[in-house]
Amino acid sequence: MGNVESLDFISDPEGSAREINAWVENRTNGRIKDIVSKPSPETRLIITNAIYFKANWLSRFRADETRNGTFHSPRGPVTVPMMHQTVKFPYFENDELQALVMPYRGGRLVMLIILPGKGKFKDVEGNLSTGLIEEIMNGTREERVKVTLPKFRFEREYHLRGVLADMGMERAFMVLDFSGISPEGNLAISDVVHKTFISVAENGTEAAAATAVTMTLSAPVEREKPKVFRADHPFIFLIYDRETEAILFMGRLMNPKG
């Protein structure tokens, strides 16, 4: 549910930025700060949204099982804390990748980890689609899996104007007919800023994301050998709602140390 606030971007740009940033910070439990800077005098509208997620694993990792291991990042090996457990999980594999579905408490939300075979990350990422995700989710089997997963935590900020333009949205950043928003017209999107935070540890996952769009005047059996799922090289992860099939959060881990 959204709400509309009237702010004075011209006379009080600093106060306007503080109010927007406080709104986002409050709704992300303090994880996303300073989503916008002081707006320019040409700013007429800033659209923001925020999401916050925190959940415990259905099957938690034991902290005393966490020990340092090697993660093979594109820039070379790094030493990071690696979590371990062997338990039954929905599991999928083919010639290109392995995938693991790790449920959170309640079972409806899961983390789907897509682990490309070594040297196949670009191919798997390039073929990533809702169809592939559906194929994986529908193709999983309950298997006993020996899981090795790095603890990781990172924050990122992205300015998406160039990315969105490359995806075919060039005209949105030019003078367009936004008369549905402003009868006076002459509005264009000047920037799109997206910030994310995620932490994955023994207990579970904490994640947050916020976006600000600024518009300005134009300008088998238990004894069987378990499957081995060793996430010690780049992988893709999604927080997924099994009931609605919605992807709530998606990222890739190239290096747990940033």
Evaluate if residue 62 carries a pLDDT over 90. Answer: yes
CA distance 226 to 237: 22
pLDDT attached to residue 2: 66
Q: Is residue 126 helix, strand or coil?
A: helix
Task: Please state, in angstroms and as integers, the Cα–Cα distance from residue 225 to each residue in 53, 85, 222, 230, following that order.
Answer: 35, 14, 8, 15
- Residues 64-86 have pLDDT tens digits of 999 999 999 999 999 999 999 99
- Residues 184-240 have pLDDT tens digits of 666 778 888 888 888 999 999 988 888 887 777 665 445 578 999 999 999 999 999
Phi–psi pair at 132, nearest 5 degrees: -65, -40
pLDDT attached to residue 217: 67
Assign 120 a pLDDT band (cuts: 50, 70, 90).
very high
Phi–psi pair at 249, nearest 5 degrees: -160, 140
- Residues 3-33 have pLDDT tens digits of 778 888 888 989 999 999 999 999 898 888 9
Q: Which is higher by pLDDT, 159 or 35? A: 35
Domain architecture of the chain: domains with CATH: 40-258 (2.30.39.10)
